Structure 1
Amino acid sequence: MDITMSYIGGKWKSVILWYLRNSTMRFTELRQRMPDITEKMLSLQLKTLEEDGLIQRESFGTKPPLRVEYSLTPFGKTLIAPLESIAQWGRELGETEGMIEEME
């Protein structure tokens, strides 16, 4: 569990990975889906996930504004099934406890 949580622990890492599970996204797209995260925190979490090998960052263009896209690496994709199980557990809990907020 310690090893797993070192990769996905905290408030935002698993949420970022969840949103990247089906598609490549730009920073602004992730920020829009996560209105409670600050730009600084999102940037820090993306950098950490990239350093851990879970996501890749690809830059396009040579002049500002650069287009930067984030996607899961093959290693990051190994977390899709566990994240789906965690999301299902949360949905079931939300249904039984009467508090559910659907995340895409």
Structure 2
Amino acid sequence: MAIAIRRAQTTWEGPLASGTGLIRMDSGAAGELAVTWASRTDRADGKTSPEELAAAAHSACYAMALALRLGEHKAVPERLAITATVILDESGGVPTIVSSHLEVTARVP
């Protein structure tokens, strides 16, 4: 049985290069997030990208997992700072996430 089920929806209008999308998460935590091909491959200009959302998810998930494991060893962290860097590149001519790198800074007594 699943611990949680989360959903998000994206609507896209227009061709890839000049079209626009809106991402909505069922939680409502982030409101509507605009996404474009340019925000994905060039400049963000206040819009997000699938890679930025993947980086946010990866860093948050890792922070929680690390806090859990440290706590199991009686080393409750005072602060964890996780930065995820997701890289989009071409693989076989197709845009592909090729890596997600985590940088971790921790203050653990």
| TM-score normalised by the chain length of structure 2 | 0.26
Higher strand proportion: 2
Rg comparison, structure with higher value? 2
| TM-score normalised by the chain length of structure 1 | 0.27
Higher helix proportion: 1
